[in-house]
Amino acid sequence: MAWLSGYPREKIEWHPTIDKSKCIKCGMCMNCGKGVYEWTDNGPEVAHPLNCVVGCSTCANLCAGKAISFPDVETLRRIYKEESIWAAVRKEMERKGVVW
């Protein structure tokens, strides 16, 4: 994954949280292409949080009940800076021939 460039995914706490009091069970979150959610009798559950793509928040944007939230993106940016992840991503992209 270029966006982590070797940094362990399990060290990044980035995954959705569902506020069940707001969830209207619209099912939009089930469109997640990474299989983060599973449908239960009580509606969606975050069953595979580490499948969530770091930085993605599409499900929260689509959620009709506005029941899905993510950690503060500034925390994610801080980790990327402190752990030199941005520099590693750039290096990997250059190695792959991506020019900017």
Specify the pLDDT at position 1. 52
Where does 10-71 sit in CATH, by number?
Answer: 3.30.70.20
**Sheet strands (E) in the chain:** 17-18, 37-40, 43-46, 68-69
CA-CA distance, 45 to 36, in Å (whole number)?
8
- Which residue blocks in the chain are alpha helix, DSSP H? 58-62, 73-82, 85-95
Residue 100 has pLDDT above 70, yes or no: no
Helix (H) or strand (E) holding 19: none
Percent of the chain with pLDDT over 70: 96
15-37 pLDDT per residue, tens = 999 999 999 999 999 999 999 99
Q: Residue ranges of the domains in the chain? A: 10-71
Quick one: pLDDT band at residue 5, thresholds 50, 70, 90?
Answer: confident
Residues 47 and 36: beta-carbon distance below 8 Å: yes
**Per-residue model confidence (pLDDT) at position 2:** 60
